[in-house]
Structure 1
Amino acid sequence: MPPLSRLEHSDPCYRLNLTRHSSRGLPVPDLMDQLKQIYLVYIVVHRGQTCDTSDQRHAGLLFAPLENGYYYYFHLVSNGSDAGHVFEIKKGFDPRTSRTALPSVRVGKTAPMTADSLVQVIQAAPIKAKDDEFGDQHWVDGALSGMVAAGYLTQQAYDWGFNKMLQTLIDGSADEVPGLEW
């Protein structure tokens, strides 16, 4: 995947939110993007919009720098067409403050890495655009697996975080109906 500054914006499967641009209108990477640092990794689950069932809940990944820098939130959004999902990066955004956010799952810490490396690893997670069975939970699995394979996250952190995400998806959702004794 090309560096953040050369990302092709015409690709319909990617959406990138950057706030700074050059005089030619191209995105400008921040110096913080070149600094190696440790990120705290969170899985953020949001309630479903139309029906709060576990399959309607939305999950994304938040990387919060341990010291200075920007938060990076990665998630899939539905584009309403045959493509199915669009990968979106929100730089400087903390989704945990959203009214639909459930308590976040802290996965662990990354090894020191640059923001460009972080973006490249997460962008490499597979997106199955036209598969009805593929959802953001599957994408989170692929993205965290990529972090483990690249050596930035431990397998133990991945296992714990992914299992806690599955529990968060189910806990309190509309499909968790107690057995009624009539």
Structure 2
Amino acid sequence: MAYRYLIFYKPYGVLSQFTDQVGRATLKDFVTVPGVYAVGRLDRDSEGLLLLTDDGPMQHRLSHPKFSHGRQYWVQVERQPDAQSLERLRRGVTIRDYRTRPAQVSAIAPPNLPPRNPPIRYRKQVPTAWLEMVLTEGKNRQVRRMTAAVGFPTLRLVRSAIFLPQGHLSLQGLAPGQWRDLTPEEQRHLPRP
């Protein structure tokens, strides 16, 4: 049986599932391949890379915390974090009685992203900054809770890459709402049992 592996650029406001009881936008509005499911999740108010597959064992290997696959996020935060706040994020912070694992965190120039619809709130007197964060765990709303815990609320969150044992997957070449099959080379990077 040939499995399908897709990369999807999830737009803001879309649920990471194929059904919704109250009629919100879902993956079904964009992805026409039957039988595939998201590997992990992105919140409705987050954007970026989702991997979808019908390969259950692969889905498990990529989403279960014990395998610790890195996920890279571009995070626009309110105000400019200082070095001490970035170091706290790197070491891990306590959110909801849980201490996050250490993360890779660095300040970056604004990434080249399409405008978000709707745009983030703009406050003339409050600057924003961009961070690149690589996490190896995926707790519910973790990035947002981490940045808030150090005093810099997240305004925009985009998953830009998923790191695999032999390479990575990225959003390169996709616009919000677009998807494509993984290339044979990308499929060779997927972890095997």
Check whether TM > 0.5.
no
* TM-score w.r.t. length of structure 2: 0.26
TM-score, normalised via structure 1 length: 0.27
* Larger strand proportion of the pair: 2
Q: Which has the higher helix share?
A: 1
Larger RCO (CA under 8 A, 6+ residues apart):
2
